[in-house]
Amino acid sequence: MIDTCCILYVLLMVSLTGASESGIIGGKVTKPHSRPYMASLQYQGRHSCGGILIREDFVLTAAHCHYPQTMTVVLGAHNISKKEDSQQHLTVAKYYKHPKYKKFDYDIMLLKLENNATLNKYVKTIGLPKKNGKIPANIKCVVAGWGQTGPNEPASHVLKEATEKIQLIFECKNIWKEYFNSEHMICTTFDKKGGICQGDSGGPILCNNKPQGLTAFTVENQCENSKFPHVFTKLNFFAAWIEEMMNQ
């Protein structure tokens, strides 16, 4: 166990980030098109964040992924540096950030697409967890995304994935202190085999093939530092809000 005073000192010395330009460290290349719900959110043709397609006309991602420029959602992609026949490029018509979003908390956003996605073997929706669903600690889950393969490494053009393990709530709180809200966040432990990094924001963490969270924040430029659990926005807490936004 790390001494508490040391944790507080470290937190004062590092800065948090949800990351916009990054990817999976280590891990492995995902089997092409095996995760057809994955979305690459792009500005001026450049990947910025991840997301998941939850309805033909809605993508779910992190609130901090919103920038003033027009966003394009790319679906059906494996290699985002190529113009694959499977890809669909759709413009975002409306952004629904959670009204309580503030820096690291309530970090969730719905993207209303200008046109519906065409569902096929390359592009599919994924269901969300139920409102009162529980996530057991210590189960292994999968994270996925495009981008940097390390803090100072170049971006990966192909979709990659890695395994992380759900951390106990008290351990998340012990490390992240006031930054961690157990009601609507989950966090994970990970090893040198891989994990999320800056820029995988908005992408999913999948437990038993169900999305349980969206990548929210890590320590800036130290995403591989296992002393700091990776933090995700807990989806079951926001189930009612998501439903309300999509049906209004």
Task: Tell me the pTM.
Answer: 0.88
| The pLDDT of residue 87 is above 50 | yes
Query: Which domains does the chain carry?
Result: 4-28+128-236 (2.40.10.10), 36-126+238-247 (2.40.10.10)
Q: What are phi and psi of 35, to 5 degrees?
A: -125, 75
61-81 pLDDT, tens digit per residue, is: 999 999 888 999 999 999 999
Burial label, 1 (beta-carbon count in 10 A; 0-12, 13-18, 19+): exposed
What is the mean pLDDT of the segment spanning 204-231? 88
Q: Which of the residues are catalytic?
A: 64, 107, 201
| pLDDT at residue 223, rounded to an integer | 79
The predicted structure's pLDDT at residue 222:
75
Task: Please indicate whether residue 244 or residue 1 has the higher confidence score (pLDDT).
Answer: 244
Q: Which residues of 137-159 are buried (b: 16+ CB within 10 A; e: fewer)?
A: eeeebbbbbbbbbebeeebbbeb
